[in-house]
Amino acid sequence: MYIGIPKESRPFEYRVGLSPAGVEILSHAGHQVFVEHEAGAGAGFKDHDYERAGARIAFSAQEVFGRADFLLKIARPLKHELEWLREGAILGGFLHLASSSQDQIDLLLAKKITALAYEQIEDANGGLVVLRPFSLICGAMVAQIAARWLQTNRGGKGIMLSGVPGVPPAEVVILGAGGVGASAARAMQNAGAHVTVIDKSMAALENIHEKLPGVVTMMSTQRNIARATAYADVVVGAVLVSGQRAPVLVTRDMVRAMKPRSVIIDVSIDQGGCVETSRPTMHDNPTFIEENIVHYCVPNIPSLVARTASHVFLNSAIPYIIEIADNGIESTIKNVPSIEAAVNTHQGKLLNLKRLNAQEVSE
């Protein structure tokens, strides 16, 4: 199979669709891999690293897209990139099509592209096995992001997460006890903050309670969310419903009731966001002020540690990539439930996906 790895075109996306180690695995299996010039530069991988692994270097994105039977991306391609794909090609990436524009969906369907959403690949227990390592990275980074944007010079309240003797620590409220939420709770607790985790699943809350003694757990109700966000110095949105838009749990009225210059970190923004006042931002200008609250809404937080993220992605995703490359997409969909659950478009049909309303989409 011809496999393409283009350079990521979205701003501040430094990760790459596959590391040289992954290319070596595919090359040894008899597949031809085309890597765009400097595709791995942001993650510290040089062209000659890919060449030594068996890849051929291509000097235009259009060539990589056009040659590929199976295109490996991180972020969702832009519309003009989708036009370069061959009819019937396979596209793998963290596609988040629930929050994409309709014209992109229409193009995928018209070209009969098989769109494989890595964020929806499930293991035998229903765990999001490829997304989870990135969730852990996001959660771990949330503490340092919060500490930075609580600083006075960043527009925050001017408080420390840990507090100091005689001064209490910051109050952190985390919405969601999944991969991101649990990782964020651990990082925040290690940083010395007082942490509350809210979720609708008792099993998830029991897991937090057992593994992180001292973290407060609460059931997800509108009343509890309103009460907790009102005293929070930091609110972390870590909500995910696979294949769907993130539910809006924090209303504008709740944001308005928060203490001035508190911080919201909406990690759910790649699925539309779980805070009504959220909108996507980028790493060069990651925050905005709404209702006198600092909002941090960057969709690709793990891109800031691109090399680590690229290595951890290989560890989790390569078995599924090899399965498709070796056996083809039709056989894989039929025989591998983990992949079947993650296919969003195939043969001109929309699958495993609940679309947003027109006013809620983004490119």
> Of 233, 270, 295, 346, which one is the catalytic site residue?
270
- Look up 103 and say whether it is catalytic: no
> Of 31, 69, 96, 346, which one is the catalytic site residue?
96
Minimal CA–CA distance to 338: which of 119, 109, 105, 77? 119
Number of CB atoms found within 10 A of residue 353's CB: 19
> Quick one: pLDDT at residue 357?
42
> Which residues is 282 bridged to in the sheet?
285
CA 100 – CA 89 distance, rounded (Å): 19
- Look up 47 and say whether it is catalytic: no
Report in angstroms the alpha-carbon separations of 66 from 34, 70, 89, 107, 348.
11, 10, 9, 15, 19
- The string of pLDDT tens digits covering residues 132-188 is 899 999 999 999 999 999 999 999 999 999 999 999 999 999 999 999 999 999 999
Q: Determine whether domain 2-121+309-360 maps to CATH 3.30.750.24.
A: no
- Same CATH fold assignment for domains 2-121+309-360 and 131-299: yes
- The string of pLDDT tens digits covering residues 277-318 is 999 999 999 999 999 999 999 999 999 999 999 999 999 999
Check: CB of residue 62 under 8 Å from CB of residue 68: no
> What CATH number matches the domain at 131-299, 3.10.580.10, 3.30.70.260, 3.40.50.720, 3.30.2040.10?
3.40.50.720
357 burial type by CB count under 10 A (0-12 exposed, 13-18 middle, 19+ buried): exposed
Would you say residue 32 has pLDDT above 50? yes
- The string of pLDDT tens digits covering residues 318-355 is 999 999 999 999 999 999 999 999 999 999 999 988 75
Mean pLDDT, the chain, rounded, equals 94
- Per domain, the residue ranges of the chain are 2-121+309-360, 131-299
Question: Rounded to two decimals, what is the model's pTM?
Answer: 0.86
